[in-house]
Amino acid sequence: MAVRESFLEGAISELGTDEVYWIKDIVVAVTGENMEVMKSIIQKYQHKRISLVEAGVTRHRSIFSGLKALAEDQLNSKLSKPEVVIIHDAVRPFVEEDVLLKVVTAAKEHGAAGAIRPLVSTVISPSADGCLDHSLERARHRASEMPQAFLFDVIYEAYQQCTDYDLEFGTECLQLALKYCRTKAKLVEGSPDLWKVTYKRDLYAAESIIKEIISQEICVVMDSKEDNKHVGHLLEEVLKSELNHVKVTSEALCLAGRHLQQIILDQCYNFVCVNVMTSDFQETQKLLSMLEESNLSILYPVVVVSVHFLDFKLVPPSQKMENLMQIKEFSKKVKERNILLYGLLISYPQDEQKLQESLRQGAIIIASLVKERNSGLIGQLLIA
Amino acid sequence: MAVRESFLEGAISELGTDEVYWIKDIVVAVTGENMEVMKSIIQKYQHKRISLVEAGVTRHRSIFSGLKALAEDQLNSKLSKPEVVIIHDAVRPFVEEDVLLKVVTAAKEHGAAGAIRPLVSTVISPSADGCLDHSLERARHRASEMPQAFLFDVIYEAYQQCTDYDLEFGTECLQLALKYCRTKAKLVEGSPDLWKVTYKRDLYAAESIIKEIISQEICVVMDSKEDNKHVGHLLEEVLKSELNHVKVTSEALCLAGRHLQQIILDQCYNFVCVNVMTSDFQETQKLLSMLEESNLSILYPVVVVSVHFLDFKLVPPSQKMENLMQIKEFSKKVKERNILLYGLLISYPQDEQKLQESLRQGAIIIASLVKERNSGLIGQLLIA
């Protein structure tokens, strides 16, 4: 479960980065037992906007704690009362900026707003003896999801007015705003991404979604920009035609690495490093140094495939492999920085058609490595 | 998506196998455009109990078609009217026999029964202007899931009596039984497995769940049973200690393969074949032949890791690798039968502690291969 949870930690932590710049403060309600772990996560990801409050025993009590922290003028507090507050669940890590904007805009107009989704199953009401009492018409009901947004004064007033019974057994903030402030929330259609990571299968789904997102771009790094006949360009072409939905770019390390720096800043998580002009691992080692210096791999593992070419007819692969075995040691070192390094030896026959076939095999292997991010296979030298 | 869908196809097809022997007939409602695909699936998996009817344009019309096929005495039909009928969705492939038994038993007593689950989100009712009208108390409502079971006469009567509006817009069979036959369905608590594969994330979750299920057992096949010091037994021990939740068994091919046949029949999907006593691939090839003869890989891909040992200090791995390169050709051949073959060369130093470490590395690689079932890496020779 460690890998899965660390993937999810990355996704949740993205919310704390600078991405949604117009959110000023983020208050997270955390149970006492998890307070230290949470503090260390904040430190690890260097979150600047997050404050912590102690969670209550129920959902509503936790939210109330968060609101109090924002409402009260406390000495030494960097928090101040906002006009609008968004309430969100950490178990919905895939929320898009778009829906956050929508609920905030609607809350400014209506006082309250929340995301909804169509019901997946029919909802029924059981009688006391465990039999069907009645079923609800599915088309007339919706699932209430998060995020929700409120004028701060509306929702804070509602929480101050509401009863202990509400705080103990209630589940719906929109209902509190309706009941205690007569504020009718605007309902906003949300996307399927807002689902709640509840069961083990949801952790599986979350991991796969994250892997899919970070596999959308592959950068082919080669040791010469000028040469159009560089075999790296041939590999780039084959990658483009084999991987339909993946953006494949190429960049040369030798050009002082300016563009490459930008690609790393733009969060490309996959690099194919072609070593042709230079000795075995020179190019790959330069790239690894750049990646280690950047903070790229802090959220998710970065895949680096070190590619080498050889005419198997002229030199048996075993001979070249001897040199390339050192990749195992490199891979152990960079694994500590969350970089997954694999080797790939591609057959480079003189025959044009056979070359295309071995490049295609190479592309399939690269696609597999990028898709699975299998840490058990780092340091392996694969052969296409 | 091909891999994902084929995993799911396997899961759904399991329902058609002999597993739940007390279900006599299975009627599947299929749209006209998918009829041919469905027929080919039935042929591929050699399902005996499945009959097909043409689906209607709504859920209720499809179910009604299925019920008619069971009710009417048709010439040339192998179907006959049952006492109890189960209604289920193909998009819930992980249904357990246990809950099928529970709804059938309850239906015999109450006339109707259905599986329910707690609500994950609060359910609300919107007003005409897209604002919150009211929210439902989550604790008093349940999600109605499948399977459901009915006395055949009850549900058939209900479908015959119900209106066109019901057939067009209704979603709940239990509601029809209540409305038209005054049969109050018994509600049975279902497990989380009953969820509906609805969104792309659900396909991801389904694939991961299936992969987890078929990775629960690894069989170590070795070329001598008698020798307790056989390195295969050492590897078996390390696998046991590294893979906590996996059942690791061992078997010798040389004993006429009787026990191994049983392990294959019991649906073990992972084999580690240790080649020590015999020449390079002799043992692995024997195992592959057995697997090809069995029908094991028809539902899900079978993983075979061909393991070889070598003292890297005495012989450089490159020399041995030359011989082992032919695994690429073997792997292409058995891939057509849905068998994923990988090679693993484990360092066998004289030093006891170093040997343990290389066996541990080998176990990590085996665990990765079994977990991911990555078809892009078949035929690779991995090194531990």
Query: Do B244 and B296 belong together in one domain?
Result: yes
Query: Do A142 and A69 belong together in one domain?
Result: yes
Does residue B35 lie in a domain region? Answer: yes
pLDDT higher than threshold 70 for residue B257: no
Please say whether the beta carbons of B8 and B94 come within 8 A.
no
Q: Total domain count for chain A?
A: 2
- In whole angstroms, what is the distance from residue B64 CA to residue A150 CA? 47
CA distance B156 to chain A (A): 19
Q: What is the pLDDT of residue B75?
A: 65
Does residue B123 lie in a domain region? Answer: no
- CB-based burial label for B129 (10 Å; 0-12, 13-18, 19+): exposed
What confidence tier does A3 reach under pLDDT thresholds 50, 70, 90? very low
- In whole angstroms, what is the distance from residue A183 CA to residue A38 CA? 34
Mean pLDDT, residues A19-45: 92
B197's tokens: 């594969």
DSSP states of A45-71: TT-SSEEEEE--SSHHHHHHHHHHHHH
Rounded mean pLDDT of chain B? Answer: 88
pLDDT higher than threshold 70 for residue B119: yes
Which of A131, A328, A368 lies at the smallest CB-CB distance from B377?
Answer: A368
Q: What is the pLDDT of residue A7?
A: 61
Query: Do A290 and A323 belong together in one domain?
Result: yes
CA distance A257 to chain B (A): 31
Query: Do A205 and A228 belong together in one domain?
Result: no
Q: Which of A52-56, A226-230, A344-348 has the lowest mean pLDDT?
A: A226-230
Residue holding tokens 């289920």? B88
What confidence tier does B171 reach under pLDDT thresholds 50, 70, 90? confident
Cβ neighbours of A186 in B, within 8 Å: 130-131
CATH of the domain at B77: 3.90.550.10
What confidence tier does A348 reach under pLDDT thresholds 50, 70, 90? confident
- Strand, helix or coil for residue B146: strand
Q: What ipTM does this complex have?
A: 0.86
Please say whether the beta carbons of A341 and A306 come within 8 A.
yes
Q: What is the pLDDT of residue A4?
A: 42
Residue B57 makes CB contacts below 8 A (sequence gap 6+) with: none
Residue holding tokens 């291969």? B369
Residue pairs spanning A and B at CB distance below 8 A: 212
Query: Do B244 and B342 belong together in one domain?
Result: yes
pLDDT higher than threshold 70 for residue A257: no
Pick the residue from chain A with its C-alpha nearest to B203: A205
Q: Are strands B186-189 and B142-151 parallel, antiparallel or unpaired?
A: unpaired
- In whole angstroms, what is the distance from residue A114 CA to residue A188 CA? 6
Query: Do B40 and B173 belong together in one domain?
Result: yes
Q: Which of A124-128, B98-102, B278-282 has the lowest mean pLDDT?
A: B278-282
B97's tokens: 């026999």
Q: What is the pLDDT of residue B1?
A: 28
Crossing angle for the helix pair A231-242 and A352-372, to the nearest 10 degrees: 60
Query: Do A172 and A188 belong together in one domain?
Result: yes
Q: Report how far apart, in Å, the C-alpha atoms of A336 and of each of A3, A10, A268, A340 are.
A: 14, 16, 19, 9
Cβ neighbours of B372 in A, within 8 Å: 372, 374
- In whole angstroms, what is the distance from residue B57 CA to residue B3 CA? 29
Q: What is the pLDDT of residue A1?
A: 28
Does residue A133 lie in a domain region? Answer: no
Does residue A132 lie in a domain region? Answer: no
Structural domain including A70 reads 2-120+138-209
DSSP states of B308-355: EEE-TTTS-HHHHHHHHTTHHHHHHHHHTTTEEEEEEEEE--SSHHHH
CATH of the domain at A351: 3.40.50.360
The answer to whether A134 contacts B382, with C-beta atoms less than 8 Å apart, is no
- Strand, helix or coil for residue A245: coil
Residue B369 makes CB contacts below 8 A (sequence gap 6+) with: A376, B303, B305, B340, B342, B377, B382
Does residue A362 lie in a domain region? Answer: yes
Query: Do A75 and A195 belong together in one domain?
Result: yes
The last residue of a domain, from among A150, A174, A209: A209
Pick the residue from chain B with its C-alpha nearest to A118: B123
Which of A209, A319, A382 lies at the smallest CB-CB distance from B377?
Answer: A382
Query: Do B347 and B264 belong together in one domain?
Result: yes
Please say whether the beta carbons of B155 and B111 come within 8 A.
no
Greatest mean pLDDT among A150-154, B39-43, B305-309: A150-154
- In whole angstroms, what is the distance from residue B353 CA to residue A290 CA? 36
Does residue B157 lie in a domain region? Answer: yes
Q: What is the pLDDT of residue B17?
A: 58
Mean pLDDT, residues B89-98: 92
Does residue B379 lie in a domain region? Answer: yes
What confidence tier does A13 reach under pLDDT thresholds 50, 70, 90? low
CA distance A212 to chain B (A): 10
